[in-house]
Structure 1
Amino acid sequence: MSLIDLPLVKLTNPDASLPGLFVLHLNNGVENRITQQLISEITQALDHIDERLDRLSGEDATKGGALITTSSGKFFSNGLAIDDAIATGDAFYLPFMRMLARILTFRVPTIAALNGHAFAGGCMLALAHDYRVMRADRGWIAMNEIDLGIPLMPGMAAIVRCKVQGAHLRDCVLTAHRFKASDAVAAGFVDRAVQESELNDAAMQYARALAPKARGLGSVLHQIKAEIYRDTVSLLLAGGTSPGGYMAKL
């Protein structure tokens, strides 16, 4: 059932028997660039989910819920609309980082179903989710800011750092290594690689299995995520847009 159908996003409930289960489909052209409008519409969709969850009661509330985010075509998201981001500065970056913090701590389990490439801001969006399922036959996930000559804001670096570990983090942010699905699974920041035809079903399997963890409207799950990712959330919400600014006194 369609719940929201905005120009750049569509929110559905694919199973009436599980009213806390949602699919958020991004639809911002071929590349699914993250624009101010897309950020606003994703935020509206999250607001709508919160409102619907608050209205659940009885047996429906005990079933919990989950959120799958996906898109279609060659790109899950090819990153920020960078010219707009540079031109508008905080007006772009601060809502983007607030959106990432909200997804990172969202009250239901979240799954990113990566139908194609997830670069830069698109990679951050994917990493903000609890789980990632990636198309095995085509697509890379990468942080290519080093090649674009763009530094990472403190919160943006933090969300990568909290999900990508060790030498993989170094290769991800310092060399812009493009991880194919099998490599990302081996590195531990993508959970499963499947064929394109299996992607939606695999994401749905995670969603159904994890939905009960949000029983009771997900307040405990939200609080646990907020503490697990406390340092990352603090940086995302601090409003810091000066990369390396903490080193000013060195």
Structure 2
Amino acid sequence: MPYLKRDGDVFVLYLGNEGQTDSENRFHPDWIDEVHALLDEVEASEGPAALVTTATGKFFSNGLDTDWLFGNFDKVHWYLDRVHTIFSRLLAFPMPTVAAVNGHAFGAGAMLATSNDFRIMRADRGFWCLPEVHLGMPFTVAMNALVTGRLANQVAVEAMTTGRRYAADDAIAAGIADAKADAEQLLPAAIARAAALAGNRKPNLAVIKKALHGSTLEGLATATTPENLAFNAG
């Protein structure tokens, strides 16, 4: 399950199991609940603060928990709406946020990274990718709102309709990522960037973010229904 550490004014949210280096960090319902609980803990802190989200090993996050999803397909709409809550929570989080993308960020994992204010990718390994077109999966209204709200239009077209895998340099060129770092420097670089912004944690920051991302947050709040999601478990 996800866990939390702290480095000065910076909280570090690890998406995987402590001591396990290659968890895929998929969005199981229990995993989603634990992420929210840890974010509650971060929000309850006082004073300057910022948040870094990262993982260890090969994966940042491999996205939806498809094993759980297809085993509980009667709950698909509820499940997807729970996934969306992670994106909206991070997008409007009342302190600076930085994703340290240590490895593959696929599907919902890529969207999680994109929900942070800033993204630093590992220079030599790992892709940011939306593979839904290859998997025969649609984007929910909420996911579409997030991707199109956070990326330039033609980048969103390419990412969503071709399933392109973006390594660090390509992601930076496309505006998907802001910077890159070697593996051993990735987390320190993300913490340093977050620490430099920790003093911006003031009540007005949440107001700014909610206004800045207003249309995207409105889209993320759209409930998933059979009418707006043509999704077939077969």
TM-score, structure 1 length as denominator? 0.84
Structure 1, unaligned runs of 5 or more? 1-7, 246-250
Identity %: 36
Aligned equivalent of 1:111: 98
* Matched-pair contact (CA < 8 Å) for 1:11–1:22: yes
Q: Distance in 2 between matches of 1:234 and 1:163?
A: 13
Q: Distance in 2 between matches of 1:164 and 1:242?
A: 27
Number of aligned residue pairs: give it.
222
Decide which of 101, 126, 129 is 2:113's aligned counterpart. 126
CA gap 1:197/1:143 in 2 versus in 1, 3 angstroms: same
Q: Which residues of 2 match residues 34-49 of structure 1 at below 5 A?
A: 34-49=27-42
Structure 2, unaligned runs of 5 or more? 230-234
Q: Per-residue deviation at 1:89?
A: 1.1
Corresponding position: 1:77 with 2:58: no
**AA of the residue aligned to 1:233:** L
- Per the alignment, in what secondary structure is the counterpart of residue 32 of structure 2? helix
Decide which of 202, 214, 217 is 1:230's aligned counterpart. 214
**AA of the residue aligned to 1:85:** L
* Matched-pair contact (CA < 8 Å) for 1:85–1:93: no
* Matched-pair contact (CA < 8 Å) for 1:152–1:243: no
1:96-124 deviations in Å (ceiling 9; x for gaps)? 11221011000000010000000000001
* Matched-pair contact (CA < 8 Å) for 1:153–1:243: no
Q: Which residues of 2 match residues 1-250 of structure 1 at below 5 A?
A: 8-15=1-8, 18=9, 21-28=10-17, 30-52=23-45, 56=46, 61=47, 64-86=48-70, 87=73, 88-214=75-201, 218-241=202-225
Aligned equivalent of 1:248: none
Q: Distance in 1 between matches of 2:190 and 2:205?
A: 19
Q: Distance in 1 between matches of 2:224 and 2:16?
A: 29
TM-score, structure 2 length as denominator? 0.90
1:157-180 deviations in Å (ceiling 9; x for gaps)? 111112221322111000000001
Q: Specify the structure having the higher radius of gyration (Cα).
A: 1
1:33-66 deviations in Å (ceiling 9; x for gaps)? 11111111000001111222xxx3xxxx3xx210
